[in-house]
Structure 1
Amino acid sequence: MVKKLQEDMLKLGVCYYPEHWPEELWEEDFKRMKELGFTYVRVGEFAWTIFEPEEGTFSFDLFDRAVAKAHEYGLKVFMGTPTATPPAWLTHKYPEVLNVSQDGISYQHGARRHYNYNSETYKRLSSIIVTEMAKHYKDNPAIAGWQIDNELNCEIDAFYSEADHTAFREWAKKKYKTLDKLNQTWGTVFWNQTYTSWDQVYLTRKTVPNSPNPHHMLDEKRFISDSAISFAKLQADILRLHAPNQWVTTNGMFKHLDNHKMTNELLDFYAYDSYPNFGRVIEDDSEKPLRDRKWSWNLSIVRSISPNFAIFEQQSGPGGWVTRLEQPSPKPGQLRLWTYQSIAHGADIVMYFRWRTATKGTEIYWHGINDYHNLPNRRVNEVEQVSKEIHQIGEKVAGSSYKAEVALVTSYDNEWDGEFDKWVGPYAAKSNDLWIKAFQYNHVPADAVYLRNETTIDELKKYKALVYPHAAIVTKQQADLFREYVNQGGKIIFGCRSGYKDETGQTYMKAFPGYLADLVGVTVEEFTRVAPYEEIPRINFKGENELEANDFNEVLHPQYDVDVISTYTNTHFEGKPALVKRTHGAGTSYYFGGVFNLKLASLLIDELQLNNYKDQFDLPEKIELAIRSKVGNDYVFLLNYADTTQKIVVKRKMRDAITGNIISNKVTMQPFDVLVLEED
């Protein structure tokens, strides 16, 4: 069952920390929040010591007063469980709760997320504080719901405490039952790694050379995910028991965590923290970098977890800690643009981080809507503008579904395996980025699909095309699913290094691409990684466009009737197939024996006829097109990521849903401008 947020209006809110501010500021703060049109305020996620100043002693006075004051102004509260930052009394008395590096060094109190999920002591103390909070606030009319912890696996996504090693051993026992099965799955016969007693089984540890068993590593990531989900379940079960009428969710989206499983099993919907400003400052020398626009894809992944979701932290100002990367201030219009970016991709609640910039601590440079001094500023004005605008479109758009005919496919197994496997992981990352750019710059709305054991043909059939660039791990079950998808009329694209591994990360003793061979109609005759000092292989596309085939090359050998779309035009592969197409049932499969580039991805978009909106709009590359649909009504979001004006053409009359004005023919969009269009 897919979990999603269900709101009847688009709603705004803000993160607030009453414990940071003198109480005399609260009333004015909440009053101004209400005047800005906010509905929600998020509190409490770092306040364990406020709630439990010493072990077994609980105090709710401060937050009771803050929640009551928020309620007085008609605001609803999301309460965070405070387990992301254990109190000093806890870590001092119970040092076994601390996380430990792979080198065996304990992380100490003084920052955040320094605990481990598997400490029985930490789980016991966490369950106590969550229980006390749930019982206290279960009937409070101001509390809309709960956020479990904060950003699970943020800051650190690997855990090596003694409790983690012990829990991993039990996890492995439960999964494999016997050491023979574990040894077989991990391939421990290689380099004489065979285990003869369960006491010998640990999480990965430093090796010489530092290259742990890759199949062990893959299971380690699965274990970390299961540990985080188990910790979240501990809290979710308590909240469901004591506060059954309040929402339960969590926020983030970080590595080594199966957010789909966690949401489906535990949550009412998923929440994300969106910081597109990172995209402006992270070094990126790739072709046509997306910058802040890259966050549209992050939001697409969130949408694959919850089709309608909440943003619990929306970037509202320049960002940075005292210890790390500082970000520039959003330019005029960017705060508004980023809000609509979230809404366009499925957010029905957007809460800004934060109300006012902290005056103390590590995040004194992570700015909120208001500056330290609380005086008027441009960011507040932009939020006020957005608030007024979404009152015009909020009822229309809330609950609508993002509309896409193509999906980029991945799986947690392939992502986690690819972190360690340098023969496929970097290729997948590169091709994914280039396909995302191709979709964005060709104005093709796209979804993310995470392939799971539970994935059905009906989930895939809604897409005209699927792109799975480098599907190293492909099981027979998955290959059969793809075959049925194509038989029923779907189109699917694979790239090199596909289908050669099983779910353990071991390779099949099959011709590449394994169980996909009959679907794509070829096997791999030979392959090579492109050396940096050698001539770059090139391919043609339908005998016309010549493209570089960087990074990796497979020479394809047709086994069935296929159309050879591209051949190599130089090197010792000259004349050999590089890209093929095969009709299978009512659909089509494509296999490219290389790593995708932007030009090839764009040509394949044309080949598959995915850019269906060319008959409605002429749009420059700087404009993103996104569509949300509801009861047959489409709402077209046009987002300008450029700091210059952009000329667009709307080929038929449409109505601006924000202003009510009729839009047609040539239109000039201002820097960082947004249009939301509907049929006239």
Structure 2
Amino acid sequence: MNRAIPGKRIELGVCYYPEQWDESLWVDDYKRMAAMGFSYVRIGEFAWSIFEPLQGVFSFDLFDRAISLAEKCGLKVIMSTPTATPPAWLTHNHPEVLNVSKDGTTHHHGLRGHYNYNSSTYREFTKIIVEKLTKHYANHSAICGLQIGNEFNCESNVYYSDADHDAFREWAKQKYGTLDQLNDAWGTVFWNQTYSDWEQVFLPRVTPADSDNPHHALDEKRFVSDSTIRYAKLQADIIREHAPNHWVTTNGKFGHLNHHQLTNNLLDFYAYDSYPNFGFVFSEGEDDPLFDRKWSWNLSTVRDISSQFAIFEQQSGPGGWVNRLEQPTPKPGQIKLWTYQSIAHGADMVLYFRLRTAIKGTEMYWHGLNNYDNKPNRRLKEAAKIGEELKRVGENLFGTDYLAEAAILHDYDNEWDGELDTWHGPFTGKSIRSWFKAFQYQHIPVDCFTLDDDTTLDQLMTYKVLVYPHAAIVTPKRAKLLEQFSEQGGTLILGSRSGYKNEYGHAYMKSFPGLLSDLAGVEVNDFTRINKVDDTPYIEWGEHTVKAETFNEVLTILSEKTTVLATYQNSYYANEPALVRTSFGKGTCYYYGGVFNDQLADLLLTDTGLKTRSELTLPKTIELAIRASKDKEYFFLLNYSGEEQTITLNEPMNELLSDVTFQSACSIEPYGVMILTKV
């Protein structure tokens, strides 16, 4: 697919639910949207019972009026298919469409996302409503594109209805062909799990120890992803048949879904829902949490899916359901900060959630730009200021690319395998957080890059440094690709528990790190989890002492081109190698037999020689992101601090938002944003 947002400049918009408000409010709402500089209004994703109030009875009158009025006010409309929330008549008359939990409990009507993708009944009703809606609005001049559903896999990313078990059985037949191959892939010889008839094959079910066969569980995630994409394709195909002039996307990023496959096969571009205030709720107990700054990593993962992407829900108020997710109100400046955070990382369209705060329902505390009283407030004023800025500068930034010389590698197999396997899964999240902090605080922009079977060496060679912390599953093809990257001059950084599993999650009969031993220049001769009752080991690297928490591997050197950088201390393996650097071809591979922490990631990044840009000297609280066209670079400076910060300029630069030229220094306000270009 094209994966490009149509237009010439970055534009704003807002989510709106005309069905939830008295029609007398619409005109004023639309006029205020336009006055704030908004171009788009997104509607319809939860309105199935409006479009089809009774089975087979269709009504588009309400949305016809709402869309025509929006167009008169100068707004473009993004229409959504309403399939994220089946109506009560459907779930009541056809309970087979409902999702079921692993223990067999049916998810009933009353929230959202309570359907299953594989119900033939639900798929048939989906076809009907999507076709009716698409045909009705195919040629409406106000509508610019369609969104499929809403936030696939949000409320649940596991599915255990009878239809899902049946579909999984057929999926497994297609994948393996024979029961012998399935039994081998799932290692069913262990604990007498061998299947002798296809009717015995189900998705994972409740077991005595509340744990699943790991290879079976890995395939479950692959199946859920394929089911989700198959359901999305059903809708995308209908839209492209009947409304070929409209672009197609979907929104949100949730688990058990290969978003790259979804986007590449079905969408014109990807859309994300960005709520940085979650960072203040889920700080993960770190001594130095990133809070809302962490959303730059989330946005990097989205940029990896779709280099041009949209934000369909940008946080604009405090967030919370009636029973959870308590979030503070954005401080003055934070809405602007978060908006430009999204733009800095590649967003070429930003829609706020939502214009009006709901006065009833589960999300009555999930605030939008308006409060209940509908009076002017500082959040509305802040959004209007952003709209005014983007009308002036959006054309400069639109379609530019994010620049990074380093990437943190990701792949779906290890993500999904690591959900069950605590011997590598939790390590990855911890290490990525530490590496992201190192890149952030050294002001070195970094990408997320997802490896798959189609990844080429040319793609990897656009980076100088790659970090692949704890990739347990590594195929021979992937191992060779990583070797070629280092041979051609790249720097690769690996961590413990790397390279020891095949594509099914079986352990290779090799010393760790398995297929990566030659590249890393080591093999593991001993290993241990760190017992909570023992003193935490540490490593010594020159004058630095670094804790070696969580997991330790004791390394044996295999290559004369390997240098020991650090050794363990205060343990039974004291003075044994812990961290090494190996010359491999023209490049370098670092291997650490542990889980990365903030200190070690910072030291290793420095050792690679990769440095921030020379044009600026920045304090720690400032994020640097760079977007570039063919002939110009835009330096985004984002201040996550509530205090004013001083920026040192090593050459004169112009600030795009204010059109002021600074010679040697400037200040950035609390939660402020600057976009600098070279004079």
Common fold by TM > 0.5 = yes
CA–CA separation in structure 2 for the residues paired with 1:5 and 1:528: 49
8 Å contact kept, 2:647–2:665: yes
Shift, 1:325, TM fit: 2.1
1:278 & 1:569 partners in 2: Cα distance? 39
CA distance in 2, matches of 1:108, 1:283: 32
Q: Does 1:414 align with 2:417?
A: no
CA drift of 1:3 comes to 2.6
Partners of 1:655 and 1:603 lie apart in 2 by 33
**Aligned to 1:427, what secondary structure does the other structure show?**
helix
**% identical aligned pairs:** 57
Kept in 2, the 8 Å contact 1:6–1:308? The answer is no
Residue 54, structure 1, aligned to residue 43, structure 2: no
- The corresponding residue for 1:544 is 543
What secondary structure sits across from 1:534 in the alignment? Answer: coil
Which whole-Å CA distance do the structure 1 matches of 2:634 and 2:480 have between them? 36
Letter paired with 1:534: D
* 2:295 pairs with 1:295: yes
Asked whether the equivalents of residues 78 and 144 of structure 2 are also in contact (C-alpha less than 8 Å), the reply is yes
Q: Aligned partners of 1:210, 1:312: CA distance in 2, in Å?
A: 38
Alignment of 1:562-577 (within 5 A): 562-577=562-577
Contact 2:145/2:246 (CA < 8 Å) preserved in 1?
yes
CA distance in 1, matches of 2:678, 2:620: 23
Report the CA distance shift for 1:474/1:6 in structure 2 as closer, same or farther (over 3 A): farther
Shift of 1:287: 2.8
Structure 2 partner of 1:640: 639
Match of 2:668 in 1: 669
Consecutive unaligned residues of structure 2, counting only runs of 5 or more, are none
Residue identity matched to 2:383: V
1:200 CA displacement: 0.3
Task: Report the RMSD for the aligned CA atoms in angstroms.
Answer: 1.0
SS in 2 for 1:652: coil
Aligned 1:385-424 pairs, distance under 5 A: 385-424=385-424
Q: How does 1:203-602 map to 2 (within 5 A)?
A: 203-541=203-541, 543-561=542-560, 562-602=562-602
Distance 2:612 2:273 in 1: 31
Counterpart AA for 1:315: Q
Letter in 2 for 1:457: L
Determine the C-alpha separation between the residues in 1 that align with 2:259 and 2:281: 27
Task: Tell me the distance in 2 between the aligned counterparts of 1:314 and 1:570.
Answer: 49
Task: Name the aligned partner's letter for residue 665 of structure 2.
Answer: K
Measured in 2, the distance between the counterparts of 1:283 and 1:547 equals 23
* Partner Cα distance (1:95, 1:34) in 2: 43
Matched, 1:73 2:87: no
Quote the Cα distance in structure 2 between the aligned partners of 1:50 and 1:437.
Answer: 47
Deviates more, 1:615-624 or 1:109-118: 615-624
Quote how far apart the aligned CAs of 1:73 are: 1.4
Amino acid aligned to 2:495: G
Give ranges in structure 1 of 5+ residues lacking alignment. Answer: none
Residue 96 of structure 1 aligns with which residue? 96
Contact 2:2–2:268 (CA<8 Å) still a contact in 1?
no
What amino acid maps onto 1:624 in structure 2? Answer: E
Residues 511-546 of structure 1: CA deviation (Å, up to 9, x unaligned): 1111111111111111111111112211122x2211
- State the one-letter code of the partner of 1:411: D
The residue aligned with 1:180 is 180
Provide TM-score, normalisation by structure 2: 0.99
Alpha-carbon contact 2:434-2:597 (below 8 Å) kept:
yes
1:151 CA drift (Å): 0.1
Is 1:147 the counterpart of 2:135? The answer is no
Amino acid at match of 2:140: N
In 1, are the aligned partners of 2:188 and 2:194 still within 8 Å (CA)?
Answer: yes
SS at match of 1:388: helix
- TM-fit CA distance, 1:668: 2.0
Residue 248 of structure 1: how far off its partner (Å): 0.3
Contact 1:100 / 1:161 at 8 angstroms: preserved in 2?
A: yes
- Spell out structure 1 runs of 4+ moving beyond 4 A: none
- Residue identity opposite 1:434 in structure 2: S
Q: In structure 2, what residue type is equivalent to 1:299?
A: L
Q: How does 1:617-656 map to 2 (within 5 A)?
A: 617-656=616-655
SS in structure 1 of the partner of residue 572 of structure 2 = helix
Query: Helix, strand or coil: the match of 2:184?
Result: helix
Work out the CA distance in 2 between the residues paired with 1:664 and 1:348.
30
Structure 2: distance between partners of 1:26 and 1:11:
21
Deviation at 1:611, TM superposition (A): 2.2
Question: What does 1:17-36 align with in structure 2 at a 5 Å threshold?
Answer: 17-36=17-36
Distance in 1, Cα, partners of 2:499 & 2:4: 33
| Cα distance in structure 1, aligned partners of 2:535 and 2:20 | 61
Q: Contact 1:3–1:305 (CA<8 Å) still a contact in 2?
A: no
Deviation at 1:559, TM superposition (A): 1.0
Are the equivalent residues in 1 in contact too, given 2:99–2:107 (CA < 8 A)? yes
Q: TM-score, normalised to structure 1's length? A: 0.99
Question: 1:2, CA displacement in angstroms?
Answer: 7.1
Shift of 1:312: 0.3
**Cα deviations across residues 90-140 of structure 1 (Å, max 9, x unaligned)?**
001000000000010101101100000000000000010000011111101
Per-residue CA deviation, residues 619-654 of structure 1 (Å, 9 max, x unaligned), is 111111100011131100000001111222121110
**How far apart in 2 are the matches of 1:545 and 1:499?**
28
Q: What is the alpha-carbon distance in structure 1 between the residues aligned to residue 334 and residue 211 of structure 2?
A: 44
How far apart, in 1, do the equivalents of 2:456 and 2:6 lie? 24
Q: What is the SS of the residue equivalent to 1:14?
A: strand
- The residue number in structure 2 matching 1:14 is 14
Contact kept in structure 1, 2:148 and 2:235, CA below 8 Å: yes
Contact 1:2 1:305 survives alignment (8 Å):
no
Counterpart AA for 1:648: I
Q: Distance in 2 between matches of 1:211 and 1:27?
A: 55
> Aligned partners of 1:412 and 1:386: how far apart in 2?
36
Please say if residues 438 and 598 of structure 1, whose CA atoms lie closer than 8 Å, have aligned partners that are also in contact.
yes
Asked whether the 8 Å contact 1:146–1:249 carries over to 2, the reply is: yes
1:283 Cα offset (Å) = 4.2
| 8 A Cα contact 2:283 2:290, kept in partner | no
